[in-house]
Amino acid sequence: MKASSEQLLKDFDTYVSDEKKIEPKDWMPEAYRKTLVRQISQHAHSEIVGMLPEGAWITRAPSLKRKAILLAKVQDEAGHGLYLYSACETLGVERADLVDDLLSGKAKYSSIFNYPTPTWADIGAIGWLVDGAAIMNQVPLCRCSYGPYARAMVRVCREESFHQRQGYSIMMSLMEGTDAQRQMAQDALDRWWWPSLMMFGPSDKDSKHSAQSMAWKIKRFTNDELRQRMVDMTVPQAELIGLKMPDPDLKWNEEKGMHDFGEIDWEEFYDVIAGNGPCNADRLATRNKAHDDGAWVREAALAYADKKAKK
Amino acid sequence: MSNNNWPLWEVFIRSKQGLSHRHVGSLHAADAEMAIGNARDVYTRRQEGVSLWVVPASEITASSPDDTEKLFDPANDKVYRHPTFFVLPKEVDHM
């Protein structure tokens, strides 16, 4: 006898709230599947577009050592994108359709990658702050109720902490350097601090997906909880190397045992999401060009495989 | 559309000699040789393995979650398959 859809849904909710995992062929509510496809594909796109701001510095890294490290880091980001696309495809979507949605501008990716990287210190700030925020977001996702996503996150997190350390190491070196180098590091922090805090998404009171995702154990902590952790973790790291946070309202709140900090410029946040950030158009144009320029390679590989199979 | 896309392959890695291959994820590649190359780049950047298997995803037959009960439940009522079912004298209990 087939269970009614209400019964299925009820069983699903109980199953998930008991901290049990969902695997690809299990029954799941359509809205759960859609939420995961949206979130995992956005996450994958962010890894892929995230290679662009840093990729710009591979040829200009200040030493062979830094260049080798940055190359390995950017290669990891490509790998992370691929783990995530692979997890997303277990939900019955085609890779090619996901990529098309990115290229057409229909799908979103993390807004942070729409900011430019004019100096070498930006590579330090990205590793330290952007990867730092990403880790904060991703560690709880290792316990996500959807098995393939959780497993992909375990791999990603294992690799990510090298990214954050290499970024902080760049900032440390600059802060031990000349006045101009210290100024460069401070300038990068000034530009990346607020966008990094925006990475956690809208404030809890405005976050339309949060409650359901928490109930489904996709999300474990709210946007504001994670943002607070990021501030508390990063402030002492900045102080230690002599950097000053660009927030006049930032101060330690003894009573709450955490930092108070200023209000995010939400207008800027929504404006960049809407496509009006400094590099939105450039990022999409670069991805589209790479995709178009690679079309003949994809076709040739397939033609060669067909020919070999016929022999 | 899917005719123009590289097929999907499932990737299995033996992490070291003495252990069996274990599923790690999937990737797209035009043929088996390219699948091995891509698996190396995507899944073994940090010495995760010493051997790779790639299998066309379309060649895998999986059991259905609907059959879970039919396939796996009967084992539950055969508790005598587990050694702790048998109570032995203390003197030989490490048997």
| ipTM confidence score | 0.89
Q: Which residue of B has its CA nearest to A81?
A: B42
Chain A neighbours among B 49-78 (CB < 8 Å)? 62, 64-65
Where does the pLDDT of residue A2 fall: very low under 50, low under 70, confident under 90, or very high at 90 and above?
low
Angle between helices A147-175 and A64-89 (to 10 degrees): 160
Record: contact B65-A23, CB cut-off 8 A: yes
Q: What is residue A294's predicted lDDT score, i.e. its pLDDT? A: 96
Q: Strand A258-260 relative to strand A251-253: parallel, antiparallel, unpaired?
A: antiparallel
Where does the pLDDT of residue A5 fall: very low under 50, low under 70, confident under 90, or very high at 90 and above?
confident
Q: What is residue B1's predicted lDDT score, i.e. its pLDDT? A: 38
CA B28 vs CA A90, A120, B6, B49: distances in Å: 13, 34, 6, 20
Q: Which residue from A27, A94, A155 is facing B2, i.e. has the nearest CB?
A: A94
The torsion defined by the Cα of A283, A288, A289 and A294, in degrees rounded to 10, comes to 130
Q: Which residue from A27, A89, A304 is facing B8, i.e. has the nearest CB?
A: A89
Average pLDDT over chain A, rounded to whole? 96
Record: contact A86-B25, CB cut-off 8 A: yes
CA A9 vs CA A12, A147, B33, B66: distances in Å: 5, 19, 43, 16
Task: Return d(Cα A92, Cα A33) in angstroms, integer.
Answer: 9
Average pLDDT over chain B, rounded to whole? 90
**B46 in reach of chain A (CB within 8 A):** yes
Q: Return the closest-CA partner of residue A140 out of A223, A254, A198.
A: A223
Lowest mean pLDDT of A90-104, A193-207, B3-17, B60-74, name the range. Answer: B60-74
Mean pLDDT of A54-78: 96
**A288 in reach of chain B (CB within 8 A):** no
Q: Give, in degrees to the nearest 5, the angle at Cα A160 between A237 and A211.
A: 90
Q: Which residue of B has its CA nearest to A307?
A: B31
CB atoms within 10 A of CB A279: 18
pLDDT digits (tens, 9 = 90+) for A276-286: 999 999 999 99
**pLDDT at residue B53 greater than cutoff 60:** yes
Record: contact B6-A309, CB cut-off 8 A: no
Q: Give, in degrees to the nearest 5, the angle at Cα A291 between A290 and A294.
A: 85
pLDDT above 70 as % of chain A: 99
* Helix ranges (DSSP H) in chain A: 5-17, 30-49, 51-55, 64-89, 95-104, 121-125, 131-141, 147-175, 179-198, 210-215, 223-240, 266-271, 280-293, 295-310
Record: contact A298-B25, CB cut-off 8 A: no
* A251 sits in which H/E element: strand A251-253
Q: Return the closest-CA partner of residue A200 out of A145, A246, A268, A136.
A: A136
Query: Is A64 or A5 the better-scoring residue by pLDDT?
Result: A64
Q: What is residue B70's predicted lDDT score, i.e. its pLDDT? A: 86
Q: What is residue B2's predicted lDDT score, i.e. its pLDDT? A: 44
Where does the pLDDT of residue B3 fall: very low under 50, low under 70, confident under 90, or very high at 90 and above?
low
Mean pLDDT of A19-47: 96
Mean pLDDT of A166-175: 98
Task: Return d(Cα B13, Cα B46) in angstroms, integer.
Answer: 13
- Global pTM exceeds 0.90: yes
**pLDDT at residue A42 greater than cutoff 60:** yes
- Give residue for tokens 């950030």: A277
- Those residues whose C-beta lies under 8 Å from the C-beta of residue A50, and which sit 6 or more positions away, are A77, A109, A110, A112, A113, A130
**pLDDT at residue A209 greater than cutoff 90:** no
Q: Which residue from B6, B27, B65 is facing A302, i.e. has the nearest CB?
A: B6
Tokens of B68: 């879970």
Single-letter residue type at A106: K
**B88 in reach of chain A (CB within 8 A):** no
- Those residues whose C-beta lies under 8 Å from the C-beta of residue A82, and which sit 6 or more positions away, are A44, B27, B42
In chain B, residues with a C-beta closer than 8 Å to the C-beta of A82 are 27, 42
Count how many pairs of residues, chain A against chain B, have C-beta atoms within 8 Å: 58
Q: Is B55 helix (H, G, I), strand (E, B) or coil?
A: strand
Backbone angles phi, psi at A281, to 5 degrees: -65, -40
**B30 in reach of chain A (CB within 8 A):** yes
Lowest mean pLDDT of A24-28, B4-8, B59-63, name the range. Answer: B4-8
Lowest mean pLDDT of A4-13, A95-104, A138-147, A222-231, name the range. Answer: A4-13
pLDDT above 90 as % of chain B: 61
Task: Return d(Cα A124, Cα A196) in angstroms, integer.
Answer: 13
Cα–chain center distance at B33: 21
Tokens of A133: 């925020």
